[in-house]
Structure 1
Amino acid sequence: MSRSPHRMTLAALALIVPLLTGCTAVAEDASPQVVVTTNILGDVVERIAGDEAAVTTLMKPNADPHSFEISAQEAARLESAALIVANGLGLEEGLQQHLDRAEALDVPTVIAGDHIEVLSYAAADAGGTDAGDTADPHFWTDPARMGEVVDAIAAALAATDGVDPAAIRANATAYRAELARLDADMTAAFAAIPPERRALVTNHHVFGYLAERFDFTVVGAAIPGGTTLAAPSAADLRDLAAAIDTARVPTIFAESSQPDRLMQVLAEEAGIRVDVVELFTESLTAPGEGADTYLTMMRSNTARIATGLTP
């Protein structure tokens, strides 16, 4: 008995479509999977990877890198990644157990903090607060150090199976040029601030690298040390208020990932008129909120610092 040509066509399609779908899935799975912990580094990795790898960023916009956690599915992504990029230096406190597990499984990993000259909190703090002599993980406030991290990421990506090393190198070179322009623009903007007004106060210690790079003084932070998980004592606030009064700081800066109520209290404690200005320091924002890329975050902060401290 002969079969209808129409029916044969439908039957053939029924066999072909799953095969095509399977081919698509294989192609997607074949793309190198790169997992990044923080959204600041995630943005940078995406620029370097371009179309050569699929980049997953674990930290959501406006999150706190010290305290954010991940799901079991995201943890599994870490363990199966072709490459992991992490900040290190104790920043991702909620993820450390997962990073340790991935390391035990020999997942290729770039720890950004291993590729820069690291500052300690105590070295950066001139205000007398108890910053502690531990490593400061906030290196991204210095675009020159971020350039060194770009080089390390590019080298690891170029060595990853399934990518075009020449494309990675080209992307990294282009991004390094953008970082150089950022550095030059920050230098020019901060040059207008008189030396006696180059004093920084924030929620917690985050500007040590920027201070070293652009010749600022870190008067102190409301929360001593480098983690947002600690809480300041009344004595901490009194000491910092005294340092602000001595330095005649006109503006103190609150981080976008935290409420600025603590900084408002500190301003009142100082007994002088001090403006409180919000900065984007530890997390990128969602698109349209002012700091959705590393470069826009740094340019926004530069403008706000320069405006807040220039007479």
Structure 2
Amino acid sequence: MNRVRGALLASAQIVLLAAAGTACTPNDSAPTIVVTTNILGDVVENVVGDGGEVLTLMEPNADPHSFGISARQAGAMESADLIVANGLGLEEGLQAHLENARAEGVPVLEVGEHIDPLQYGEGESAGQPDPHFWTDPARMIAAVDAVVDALEETGGLGEEIRAGAEAYRAQLEDLDAEITTTLEDIPPERRKLVTNHHVFGYLADRYGFEVIGAVLPSGTTLASPSAADLRDLSEAITEAGVPAIFADSSQPQRLAEVLAEETGLDVEIVPLYSESLTEPGDEAGTYIDMQRVNATRMAEALTRNP
């Protein structure tokens, strides 16, 4: 009887050990995805959920044109199953790292190649592709599709990720409709944008705005305006009667303030979250929250009585 009881106990221990081993074994098929910007990082995390591991390189409140990475992050890029980058020249400080990862055989998805990019119409960047496509939620739906296709090509597309992509597409469609409603009361003569640099071309194209100009006459924050640039923009603002200048919340606003003084008009400086998310939990901690805040501030500034 004791031998039988001992045999049963031993069998039970073997079953428990086997179950424990199974529970502790990592899911080798779950992809490791490195994302360059925190805006795309939030999108990819929503799509992937627990179906993979997502590492976002860009810290909250950083500038995507100039941020750098650590040696550990560079190593993670070279061992990833997929890198998701914005592309179209946005990540100016990461090009060498992206090329190194490609040389190591890591697939690199540059999302900007898949979203029907626009070109800058004026300034130093005229004729070049505009990388700021995230200001149009419809193009972010195309970005989700591009991520799903890339994961399918690399063998990392599981059912959980398919479901996450479908759910997040629906959220982006709702966001697009919500922004349309938020902006619809802005009269046509007030649908004119002046920004710190050329960052809202896609939003203007999507929702029927005209971009009058930018304090920095470029698609990058690394540019600097000349006195002639400021004079020309000042004249355009005066002629158009623009009531507000929209400046990125993470950038110094002194240039926009100087320009407002140059016009001789009462031009409000309105901070927007144009190029980076804030810390999680803050008002622009997710892509969807960022878009909502920006649309609300635009609507308030452009419908306010003079």
- TM-score when scaled to structure 2? 0.89
Q: What are structure 2's unaligned runs of at least 5 residues?
A: 1-19
CA offsets per residue over residues 71-110 of structure 1, 9 Å max, x none?
1111111111011000000000000110011112221121
What one-letter code is carried by the residue in structure 2 that aligns with 1:178?
Answer: Q
Contact 1:49 1:157 in 2 (8 A): no
User: Could you say which residue in structure 2 is the equivalent of 1:240?
Assistant: 233
User: Could you say which residue in structure 2 is the equivalent of 1:60?
Assistant: 59
SS class of match (2:51): coil
CA offsets per residue over residues 114-165 of structure 1, 9 Å max, x none?
101111111xx5xxx554211100000001111101001012224444552x
Identity %: 59
User: Could you say which residue in structure 1 is the equivalent of 2:195?
Assistant: 202
Q: Is structure 2 residue 154 aligned with structure 1 residue 155?
A: no
SS class of match (1:121): coil
Aligned pairs for 1:89-104 (under 5 A) are 89-104=88-103
What one-letter code is carried by the residue in structure 2 that aligns with 1:262?
Answer: L
SS class of match (2:211): strand
Q: Structure 1 residues 99 and 200, CA, compared in 2 at 3 Å: closer, same or farther?
A: same
What one-letter code is carried by the residue in structure 1 that aligns with 2:236?
Answer: A
Q: Structure 1 residues 151 and 242, CA, compared in 2 at 3 Å: closer, same or farther?
A: same
**Which 4+ residue blocks in structure 1 deviate beyond 6 angstroms?**
none
CA distance in 2, matches of 1:139, 1:87: 9
Aligned pairs for 1:119-130 (under 5 A) are 119-122=118-121, 125=122, 129-130=123-124
Q: CA deviation at 1:32?
A: 2.2
Aligned pairs for 1:218-229 (under 5 A) are 218-229=211-222
Q: 1:252 aligns with which of 245, 258, 266?
A: 245
CA distance in 1, matches of 2:193, 2:27: 47
CA distance in 1, matches of 2:150, 2:109: 7
Q: Is structure 2 residue 270 aligned with structure 1 residue 277?
A: yes
Q: CA deviation at 1:291?
A: 0.4
CA distance in 1, matches of 2:51, 2:129: 33
User: Could you say which residue in structure 2 is the equivalent of 1:231?
Assistant: 224
SS class of match (2:50): coil
Q: 2:259 aligns with which of 257, 266, 273?
A: 266
SS class of match (2:283): coil
Contact 2:98 2:108 in 1 (8 A): no
What one-letter code is carried by the residue in structure 2 that aligns with 1:290?
Answer: E
Q: CA deviation at 1:30?
A: 6.7
What one-letter code is carried by the residue in structure 2 that aligns with 1:245?
Answer: T
What one-letter code is carried by the residue in structure 1 that aligns with 2:234?
Answer: A
SS class of match (1:88): coil
Q: Is structure 2 residue 180 aligned with structure 1 residue 190?
A: no
CA distance in 1, matches of 2:282, 2:179: 21
What one-letter code is carried by the residue in structure 2 that aligns with 1:132?
Answer: A
Q: CA deviation at 1:275?
A: 0.2
SS class of match (1:27): coil
CA distance in 2, matches of 1:187, 1:30: 40
Q: Structure 1 residues 239 and 131, CA, compared in 2 at 3 Å: closer, same or farther?
A: farther
User: Could you say which residue in structure 2 is the equivalent of 1:87?
Assistant: 86
Q: What are structure 1's unaligned runs of at least 5 residues?
A: 1-19
Contact 1:58 1:74 in 2 (8 A): yes
CA distance in 2, matches of 1:232, 1:289: 32
Q: CA deviation at 1:243?
A: 0.6
